Amino acid sequence: MTVIPPRFPLNVYDELLFHLDQPSSPLVQHMEVRLTPQLSADQLQAAIMAAVQEHPIMQVAMAAYSPTDSQFFWQYNEPLQEAPLTIKTADNEDDITRLRDEFYSGAISLVEAPPFRCLLIQVGEDESILMLKVSSVASDSVGLKLFLYGILTHYNNPQAPRSVKNFLTIRNQHHNLSEQSDGLKAIGKLLEALSATLKPATRIAATGQEGNTGVGIAPIVFNAAQTKALNVQAATCTGLSSQVLAALHLAVEKWNQAHQQKTGYISFIHPVNIRQEPWQESIASNLSVWVNISSQTKDRHNAAELLALMQQQTEQLLDESVLHLLVDLAQEVRRLPAWMRQIVPGLLPLTGGRLSSTAVVGTLEPLARLRSEHLNVKEWLFSPPCKMPTGVSLGAMVYDHRLHLALRYHQQQFTQEDAWAFAEMLLDALPHTA
């Protein structure tokens, strides 16, 4: 069981996403697994409750606040009494698609605990799909992966020991400015970063109906041979990120050309995990900084050179000194007056969305096959949140030597048919970045 205080502050990443979250375009993390044999609902309920004890962020709600507050808090009132689990049945992939899209289109209110939801879809007589969503204000995709892994572990072995962790010690490890940090220098770097962010990023040509709400998710799973051919079988997270980012740059350009839309500066938001100690890979929380990975038109003339550029940018961002600077810069944002921190998201429509990017791209470290006598995980998919005007996100991970991609799109961005057409362009580009 993990120790948790009754009240503790949102960290800077929680707070930035809190101001961006909107019921009409909710910021929720998506993760799902397809398994055999079918899961027992009662056993799954118990496994979720066991995992919740190890990940206390999954038991909190927002404390009462005023929009003028300069600090916001999480509130822990009492242990969760029942897991937020819904059970549905599906006869075919169309049923699964409909249930998935409905599930991930719904917002999660933070007024009451918990900040996550579970959907169990029983498929036929042999398979189950377990879908999880969590408010991005509460946890990043790495945290959701840890939570899901905990659920599966406790389902597989209800007697599995529960480790004791100090949640706030782990959570706050990277959220204190270095004593040697030069505040003025950090502010200068922040202004430099903002100037790049304010540069208008190319939009992906939209084909959806304006005014539509909700999202769709297109899952793509490669077999082991296909994954090996793409040279990502033993890929690190950095290597996978570079390949997927490069392929998506090429796909965006090709898509826009096909829709008579100019493509110049492409910028992708890329969450970077700042957990650096092994013991930090133990709690669900927001411990990622969001950075931009970009290319100009001239960078996309040669796929190999584009891949090299993506590798250069991702490796620079994972440099320890750069990670510390990024954390410092995020802290400098928090020092802005409360009214300014809250008004920045509201400026998006007035600035043509220049504070957002072309798309959001997330990658997770490769996962080995879950060793279990009782469970066979056939697929493991995830995608980061997206909201208009950035209407596309892509999640990529390798599970059991197989590449898994999930393309999430806002209904204003694509129709379902066009989302798959865009996905085909991405798949066509992937071999060129291998």
Q: Where are the beta strands (DSSP E) in 12-96?
A: 28-36, 61-62, 73-75, 85-90
Domain of residue 417: give its range. 183-433
Where does 83-223 show beta strands of DSSP type E?
85-90, 116-123, 127-135, 215-221
CATH number, domain of 257, equals 3.30.559.30
Give per-residue pLDDT as tens, 279-331. Answer: 667 789 998 888 888 899 999 999 999 999 999 888 877 766 566 666 665 66
How many domains does the chain fold into?
2
Same domain, 120 and 201: no
Same domain, 128 and 195: no
Out of 171, 200, 218, a domain closes at: 171
In this structure, are 211 and 328 located in the same domain? yes
The answer to whether residues 284 and 153 belong to one domain is no
pLDDT tens, residue by residue, 80-124: 999 999 999 999 999 999 999 999 999 999 999 999 999 999 999
How far is 254 from 130, CA to CA, in rounded Å?
Answer: 35
Which range among 130-144, 179-193, 359-373 shows the weakest confidence by mean pLDDT?
Answer: 179-193
User: Are 153 and 262 in the same domain?
Assistant: no
Residue keyed to tokens 């249930």: 99
SS3 content of the chain, % helix, strand, coil (to 5): 40, 25, 40
What is the dihedral sign for C-alpha 299, 303, 307, 308? negative
- Which CATH number covers residue 118? 3.30.559.10
85 shares its domain with 40:
yes
Does residue 177 fall inside a structural domain? Answer: no
Any domain includes 292: yes
Helix pair 12-20, 338-346: axis angle to 10 deg: 40
Q: Quick check: is 178 in a domain?
A: no
Q: What is the pTM of this model?
A: 0.89
| Domain-located, residue 244 | yes
Burial of residue 45 (number of CB atoms within 10 Å: 0-12, 13-18, 19+): middle
Supply 10's token pair.
């949102």
25 phi and psi, to 5 degrees?
A: -145, 70
**Domain co-membership, 166 together with 236:** no
Sorted by sequence, the CB contacts under 8 Å of residue 235 that are 6+ apart come out as 243, 366, 398
Task: Report phi then psi at 362, rounded to 5.
Answer: -120, 145
Q: Residues 62, 110: contact at Cβ < 8 Å? A: yes
Query: Do the domain assignments include residue 1?
Result: no
Q: Is the pLDDT of residue 194 over 90?
A: no
User: Which residues, at least 6 apart from 103, have a Cβ–Cβ distance to it below 8 Å?
Assistant: 117, 119, 131, 133
Task: Flag whether 41 is in a domain.
Answer: yes
The encoded tokens of residue 108 equal 């999660």
Tell me the two tokens of residue 263: 């493509």
Among 303, 291, 315, smallest CA distance to 249 is for 303
Instruction: Judge if 228 and 279 occupy the same domain.
Output: yes
Exposure b/e, 339-350, CB count within 10 A at least 16 = b:
eebbebbeebee
Domain boundary among 143, 171, 199: 171
Q: Do 192 and 148 sit in the same domain of this protein?
A: no
Of the three residues 137, 171, 205, the one that is the final residue of a domain is 171
Who wins on pLDDT, 48 or 78? 48
Which residue is it, tokens 């709690």? 283
Residue 142 domain-assigned (yes or no): yes
Q: What is the distance between the alpha carbons of residues 364 and 133, in angstroms, rounded to a whole number?
A: 16
pLDDT tens digits, 400-412: 999 999 999 999 9
- Residues 307, 391 share a domain: yes
In a domain, 176, yes or no: no
State the virtual CA torsion across 406, 412, 416, 417 in degrees, nearest 10: -120
135, 205: one domain: no
**pLDDT tens digits, 366-424:** 887 887 778 999 999 999 998 888 999 999 999 999 999 999 999 999 999 999 999 99
382/242 same-domain check: yes
